[in-house]
């Protein structure tokens, strides 16, 4: 009851924010929205929801996924009785060391890599920093060819390297849907040749566009350029055979496929060698100092195993969820558009939708949240401190429209998606019968 009152309070604050845009005080609208959110967060903290039966829909799986119970199960012994330091020579240490090496074998097996090419890290961000900074150091890279829509774990280190005068960054041309223009990439690689590192992600985490990783790997290997692909969104979602794809470096992160947070890996092809990013002990064959995150590493391997053992089945199920949501939303609200590419050239776990503008569209993502639907804004909004999505800005998306990234996992159901469509229809004042045309 108290919770309902809190929600009503929050909704009032939003209504107030909304009506302000019709008045001469419309400039304070972003401030009023921020205030409404603060009120909501505060009221949630002091009076959490009492009704636990309400449907909660988690569609933010590109941000992170739920830890699988079978993963937790294999991790537990290393959080309790198997606590030895893997660098210790006694039995406790040998036990945990063996667990790490067994996990490394699992990762290498699924990627068709050799065990010596896999190094455990704290996740995708560290792996990308390691490759970019250490490849520049070790190979005297002078030019980095990348894109404006990479994850910040790539764009920011590239900017830092450029600021330090170590490299010149070149941004490959993208088409209106955010696809890499391969001819432009070829031009850049031919121009800068051997001094080049190409850093292009396999799948974009916001719009889901897929890169033809084989084509880029082939181009780079022919021209003697280094190639790093941020594969954080595709590891354990697509098969990748590293014997067939001559990419030099890739990265992975366990929490994107139902593993634990704070653990991942970097693949460094055996003929390439990098210097460490973190200096200290001799862990990870001198490549990454610091006592290993054993339970994380064991969890990462189990999550890989779970995903790769059912990869086609999960692919088909999740892909079906994505097309179902798109079709149902399109039926209900015909004026929606997909941001990025839709279909085979896109990641089946991500659907980024642009919704029409109306007087409430600034609040769409908050409205979803208040109705227990977790999705990501990915908005091109530039108001207040919210700089919006650098990816959508690059695609020149109409900033007045509301953009929502829905991202799926095998735990989502069609019933949850029906609930989302119902809500979206309500938000746009469309009755379901009207919208779906049934
Ligand atoms: C494409 C991409 N790269 C890198 C990362 C960073 O990974 P981590 O959270 O493991 O540092 C993410 C996570 O959001 C991502 O989506």
What's the burial of 438, exposed, middle or buried (CB within 10 Å: 0-12/13-18/19+)?
exposed
φ, ψ dihedrals at 218, nearest 5° = -65, -50
CA 188 to centroid of ligand 1, rounded, Å: 26
Q: How many helices (H) and strands (E) does the chain have?
A: 14, 12
Q: Provide the pLDDT for residue 438.
A: 34
Q: Provide the pLDDT for residue 324.
A: 98
CA 232 to centroid of ligand 1, rounded, Å: 6
Average pLDDT per run of 10 along the chain, which is 438 residues long? 51 55 56 64 58 83 98 98 97 97 98 98 98 97 98 98 98 97 97 92 98 98 97 98 98 98 98 95 96 98 98 98 98 96 96 92 88 82 59 88 96 98 92 49
Q: Please tell me if the CB atom of residue 208 comes closer than 6 angstroms to any atom of ligand 1.
A: no
* CB neighbour list of residue 2: distance below 8 Å, 6 or more residues apart: 47, 50
Ligand 1, pocket-test mutation among 128, 153, 260, most atoms within 8 A of CB: 153
Segment (H or E) for 374: strand 373-374
134 catalytic per annotation: no
CA 265 to centroid of ligand 1, rounded, Å: 12
CA 228 to centroid of ligand 1, rounded, Å: 14
Q: Provide the pLDDT for residue 435.
A: 43
Q: Please tell me if the CB atom of residue 230 comes closer than 6 angstroms to any atom of ligand 1.
A: yes
Q: Please tell me if the CB atom of residue 232 comes closer than 6 angstroms to any atom of ligand 1.
A: yes
CA 185 to centroid of ligand 1, rounded, Å: 24
Cα–Cα distance measured from residue 306 to residue 293, given in angstroms and rounded to the nearest whole number: 20
Q: Provide the pLDDT for residue 321.
A: 98
**Helical H segments across 209-310, by residue range:** 213-223, 294-309
Atom from ligand 1 closest to the CA of residue 62: 16
The beta-carbon contacts of 164-169 under 8 Å, at least 24 apart in sequence, are 166/136, 167/136, 167/141, 167/142, 167/143, 167/197, 168/142, 168/143, 168/144, 169/143, 169/144
Which residue, by CA, sits nearest to atom 8 of ligand 1?
Answer: 124
Domains located in the chain, CATH noted: 2-65+311-436 (3.90.1150.10), 69-309 (3.40.640.10)
Ligand 1, pocket-test mutation among 65, 124, 178, 263, most atoms within 8 A of CB: 124
Atom from ligand 1 closest to the CA of residue 253: 10
Q: Provide the pLDDT for residue 194.
A: 82
Q: Provide the pLDDT for residue 397.
A: 84
Q: Please tell me if the CB atom of residue 125 comes closer than 6 angstroms to any atom of ligand 1.
A: yes
Q: Please tell me if the CB atom of residue 151 comes closer than 6 angstroms to any atom of ligand 1.
A: yes
Segment (H or E) for 69: helix 69-79
Q: Provide the pLDDT for residue 20.
A: 52
Q: Please tell me if the CB atom of residue 123 comes closer than 6 angstroms to any atom of ligand 1.
A: yes
Ligand 1, pocket-test mutation among 157, 232, 264, 350, most atoms within 8 A of CB: 232
Between β-strands 118-121 and 264-268, what pairing exists: parallel, antiparallel or unpaired?
Answer: antiparallel
**Which parts of 154-261 are beta strand (E)?**
168-171, 196-199, 226-230, 249-253
Which residue, by CA, sits nearest to atom 14 of ligand 1?
Answer: 63
């Amino acid at each position: 009851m108290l919770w309902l009152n809190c929600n009503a309070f929050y909704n009032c604050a939003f209504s107030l924010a909304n009506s302000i845009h019709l008045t001469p005080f419309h400039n304070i609208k972003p401030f009023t929205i921020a205030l409404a959110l603060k009120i909501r967060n505060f009221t949630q903290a002091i009076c959490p929801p009492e009704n636990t039966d309400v449907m909660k829909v988690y569609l933010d799986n590109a941000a992170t996924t739920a830890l699988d119970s079978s993963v937790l199960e294999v991790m537990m012994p290393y959080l309790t009785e198997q606590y030895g330091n893997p660098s210790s020579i006694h039995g406790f240490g040998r036990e945990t060391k063996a667990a790490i090496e067994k996990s490394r074998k699992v990762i290498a097996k699924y990627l068709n890599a050799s065990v010596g090419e896999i190094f455990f890290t704290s996740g995708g961000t560290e792996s990308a920093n390691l490759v970019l900074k250490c490849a520049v150091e070790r190979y005297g890279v002078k030019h980095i060819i990348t894109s404006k829509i990479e994850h910040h774990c790539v764009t920011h280190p590239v900017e830092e390297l450029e600021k330090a005068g170590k490299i010149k960054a070149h941004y490959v041309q993208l088409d209106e849907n955010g696809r890499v223009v391969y001819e432009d990439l070829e031009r850049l690689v031919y121009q800068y040749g051997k001094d080049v590192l190409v850093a292009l992600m396999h799948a974009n985490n916001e719009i889901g566009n897929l890169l033809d990783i084989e084509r880029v790997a082939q181009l780079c290997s022919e021209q003697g350029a280094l190639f790093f692909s941020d594969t954080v969104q595709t590891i354990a979602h697509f098969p990748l055979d590293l014997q067939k794809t001559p990419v030099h470096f890739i990265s992975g992160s366990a929490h994107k496929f139902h593993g634990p947070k704070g653990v991942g890996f970097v693949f460094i092809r055996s003929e390439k060698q990098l210097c460490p990013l973190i200096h200290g002990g001799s862990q990870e064959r001198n490549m990454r100092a610091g006592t290993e995150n054993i339970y994380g590493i064991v969890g990462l391997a189990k999550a890989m195993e779970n995903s790769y053992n059912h990869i086609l089945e999960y692919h088909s199920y999740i892909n079906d969820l994505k097309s179902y949501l798109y079709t149902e939303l399109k039926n209900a609200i015909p004026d929606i558009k997909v941001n990025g590419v839709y279909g085979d050239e896109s990641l089946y776990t991500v659907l980024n939708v642009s919704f029409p503008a109306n007087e409430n569209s600034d609040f769409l993502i908050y409205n979803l949240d208040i109705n227990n639907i977790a999705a990501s804004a990915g908005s091109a909004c530039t108001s207040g401190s919210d700089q919006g999505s650098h990816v959508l800005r690059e695609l020149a998306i109409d900033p007045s429209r509301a953009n929502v990234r829905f991202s799926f996992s095998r735990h989502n159901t069609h019933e949850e998606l029906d609930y989302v469509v119902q809500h979206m229809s309500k938000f746009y004042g469309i009755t379901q019968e009207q919208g779906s045309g049934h």
